[in-house]
Structures are given as structure tokens and as C-alpha cells.
Amino acid sequence: MTGIGFFKRLLGATAAEPAEPVRLQAPEGARVLMVDDSPTLLAVLGRQLAQEGYATLRSLDGENALEVARAEQPALIFLDIVLPGMNGFAVLRALRHDALTRDIPIVMISGNQQATEQFYVQRFGADDFLKKPFGRLEVQVCIDRLVRLGRLPARAPEPVVAAEAPPPHEPLPGDLPGLAA
């Protein structure tokens, strides 16, 4: 609550501030494969995902991405469209035709502003699309959407730990009887 919100409530305002929406996450430690030819993007996205509790796998090209996806069975794949050698669309098609990888949620990413890419992404079976540059919030919203759609399992809620009540005050040898604290 902001400082102004506190004073409004103190003075009797009844309208409560809207609560921040709860974002769902995939299970902690879930493996996420990131495929992009930019080491910078891999580092930034990897750091964001690691801070959210995910284990990250990295690939700089499509051929290696197919090998990693088959071997590691990640829970989620972020796949760039423009890659050296095999492009992201070819990787997406190969992943969807492989029994080992066909059910892995795939989010395509691209810096190209063409709306046609989004059309082809959906047509070839991607689960979502992120346009570069994107930030932490866009990644969190994307994962939240995949969890809500049932494409990713949900992370177990954090257990709520009740604070213990402080022990009752015992009079100290210098307390004066009859004086309230």
C-alpha cells in the first residue's frame, strides 16, 4: 500500500487498492531450454529464469536445440525464429513431429516486427510468441498463461508460516506495581 493509500484508509476511505494479480509459475527447478544465436539474450533471459527458480539450458543453433530437447526433455522451450543453419520454424516442426518432444510447450521469439511471423508461429503449433525486446514481466505473463492453459504444471504454493506470538510479559524486578506500560 502506498503512503497516500494509508492516509486515505486512515481517514475512512472505503475503496481498497486493487491487489496485484497472482502470477502462476511452473515448478521450481523446471528445465527451460533457450534457443537463440545471441549470447547476450541467452544470458539475460537465463538470469531472469534462474531468479524465478528455473534450471536453464542453452543452445545457439537449431540442430543443437533438437539434440538438447530430445536428451533433456525440458518443461518449456523459448525458440528464436532466426537462427544460423536450421531456422526456428524448421526446429518447431521437427519438435512437433518427434514423439519425445511433441508435447513440450514452445514460445517463439523474434525481433522482426512482421505480424506474418505470428501467423506462421500459430500455424506450426507454437504455444506463444514474444516479440524482442521483452522483459521480465512479459516472460512471467507468458509462463503464467501456459500454466493457466494447462500446458505447464503449476508450482506448489509457498507454505504460509504463522508467526509465533511473543511470550507474555513477565514483570521485571524494577517494574512498579500499578503503572501501565
Does residue 104 carry a pLDDT above 80? yes
**Class level of CATH domain 31-148:** alpha beta
C-alpha–C-alpha distance, residues 13 and 9, integer Å: 5
pLDDT band, very low/low/confident/very high, at 19 (cuts 50, 70, 90): low
Q: Where along the chain do its domains lie?
A: 31-148
Query: Judging by beta carbons within 10 Å of its beta carbon (0-12, 13-18, 19+), is residue 37 exposed, middle or buried?
Result: middle
Q: What is the pTM of this model?
A: 0.74
In the chain, the percentage of residues whose pLDDT exceeds 90 is: 56
Which long-range contacts does 114-117 make (Cβ < 8 Å, 24+ apart)?
Answer: 117/81
pLDDT computed for residue 12 by the predictor: 54
Beta pairing partners, 34:
58, 78
pLDDT band, very low/low/confident/very high, at 7 (cuts 50, 70, 90): very low
Q: Are strands 106-110 and 55-59 parallel, antiparallel or unpaired?
A: unpaired
